[in-house]
Amino acid sequence: MLCLVIPYFVSQRRAPKGIENGRFHRRFFTLGVVLLWVATDWPLGLLGASYLASAHMLQFVIYTMAVAPILLLGIPEWMARRLAGRMRLYRLMGRCTQPVVAGLLFNGMLIFSHSPWAVDNLRANQFGSFAMDLLWLIGGFLVWAPLVSPIPEHRMTSYPGRMAYLFLALGVVPAVPGGFLTFASFPLYATYELAPRVHGLGATTDQQLAGLVMKLGGIPVVWGTILALMYRWSEVSRAESAELRQSNKPISPSGDLHQSSTDPDQ
């Protein structure tokens, strides 16, 4: 976590001259780090790593649905450009943030990281657990980048496209493994099945809960964002049509606006 916080605030001090360092970014970044800490540390981190599949899934939802987009919103454009330039990642980022690529990569990561093989092998040790957390965070960055990337040209421009992307990449596909977990007749993950029970929660019940968290956990974020996009789209369309109407109004030779009798708004 310090690897994120220290470089961020150090580079904030080295911001290019003439660019305002908005509080907006810093607040979002701080919120993202706090959420990351909540998802990683005790008790959720410990429960998710060794005891409860539902806690594991809650961690996943927090990482990908909250931490990743909030951290992206907390990165100013100049910082992202500088980072991409120094690490020679600009082109790679451009390719990975194409909606189809980002959606496929995220969902591939989602299916891999929730496969019994990956969970049982990675959760068995601290390094593997860390790798899984990192994978989720990178997956979250990837899937949210076409919507909230700090680099404007990496963002999708069309509102319907954004909404469709959000629905397909974050709404539809995660429901499939979620369904598997909810309706599986046996516990899929040995790690959680063979762990001491927490508050008497059975392994199968815990897994069903995990499936529900996966299926329903993202819904408020996905649909909330879709609603916000829809609202913004309607606002933009209204503003555009008003502008268009303004520009179409003929001007009389005397310079006064001529009120047309065929104006549909009248």
Among 27, 197, 245, 249, binds another protein (CB under 8 A): 197
Does position 124 bind another protein by CB under 8 A? no
Q: How far is the CB of 130 from another protein (least distance, A)?
A: 23
Q: How far is the CB of 118 from another protein (least distance, A)?
A: 17
Residue 264 near another protein by CB under 8 A? no
Burial code (b: 16+ CB inside 10 Å, e: under 16) for 38-62 equals ebbeeebbebbbbbbbbbbbbbbbb
Q: Does 195 bind another protein (CB under 8 A)?
A: yes
Q: How many CA atoms lie within 13 A of 53 on its CB side?
A: 31
Q: According to CB under 8 A, which one of 42, 117, 127, 186 is a site residue for another protein?
A: 186
- For another protein, the closer of residues 138 and 201 by Cβ is 201
Cβ of residue 203: shortest distance to another protein, in angstroms?
6
Size of the site for another protein (CB under 8 A): 12
Pull the structure tokens for residue 259: 């009120």
Piece in contact with another protein (CB under 8 A), picked from 31-39, 63-71, 92-100, 202-210? 202-210
> Residue 48 and residue 44: Cα distance in Å, rounded?
6
11/50 with CB nearer another protein: 50
Among 203, 209, 214, 221, contact with another protein (rule: CB under 8 A): 203
Tell me the C-alpha distance between 191 and 195, whole Å. 6
Q: From the centroid of its chain, how far is CA 148?
A: 8
**Burial grade of 152 (CB within 10 A; 0-12, 13-18, 19 or more):** exposed
Q: Residue-wise over 3-25: b if at least 16 C-beta within 10 A, else e? A: eeeeebeeeeeeeeeeeeeeeeb
Q: Which of 196, 250, 253, 264 binds another protein (CB under 8 A)?
A: 196
- Listed in sequence order, the residues at least 6 apart from 196 whose beta carbon sits closer than 8 Å to its beta carbon are 51
The residue (of 193 and 230) whose beta carbon lies closer to another protein is 193
Length of the chain: 266
- What CA–CA distances, in Å, run from 49 to 1, 86, 119, 184? 18, 34, 9, 21
**Binding status of residue 221 toward another protein by CB under 8 A:** no
Using the rule CB under 8 A, which residue among 15, 96, 190, 229 binds another protein? Answer: 190
Q: Which stretch binds another protein (CB under 8 A): 3-11, 91-99, 156-164, 182-190?
A: 182-190
Q: Does 117 bind another protein (CB under 8 A)?
A: no
**Between 196 and 264, whose beta carbon lies closer to another protein?**
196
**What's the DSSP call for residue 251?**
B
Instruction: Using CB under 8 A, list all residues that contact another protein.
Output: 186-187, 190, 193-197, 200, 202-204
